[in-house]
Structure 1
Amino acid sequence: MGMTRETKQPGQGRALTFQESELKICDLCGCLNLNTNTDCFICGWHGHFVQETRVVHAALELATRRYGRLELHHLTDARTYREPAPPTWQARLKSWCLGILKRKRQ
């Protein structure tokens, strides 16, 4: 579920829109990280990360309450962040086909 996480409090940057599947939680320090981070941007951990959707969703809710809204610097080091490449035409076609199949089954 893609959502903007914001509680209407002022912040430095723009609110982010993301899905729980795009995030992970550091096993060592418990901080939210983008999936694209190879190491935890807070503690440097490069081992296992929790990616269970239910757990990440709960962490998102807590972080939103804590910060007021989630911004890029809450999830990664903004100096090393690279915007993900847009999906290939094959990935877009696959997603479109799966959407059609899902609607037919309902």
Structure 2
Amino acid sequence: MTEIDPATAALVLVDLQERIVALPTTPYRGEDVVANALRLRDAFRDAGAPVVIVKVSRPDNPPGNELVFDAMTALSEISHENAITKIFPRLGTVMTTDEVLA
């Protein structure tokens, strides 16, 4: 497993609400994203690293806004590819759940 140093690492899970997870995402289904997010959450907690859950909400708070948990997917393949190859590498190392937990 990749060493999770609680002094320098944190897991941030964003927008894993039922209505978001239920969207037709690609290349990963919402259920798969949630499963990977839960695996990562458990590993970070076991290492004593912080886990931050962010829920972005709207003032009208539509149904399905309940919090679930995350990993990474998109509404189109090109959006997902752009995020993991262009945007996220500027922020840090991009890895799969299995790579982090190996």
**Normalised by the size of structure 2, how large is the TM-score?**
0.28
**Larger helix proportion of the pair:** 2
**Larger strand proportion of the pair:** 1
Structure whose alpha-carbon radius of gyration is higher: 1
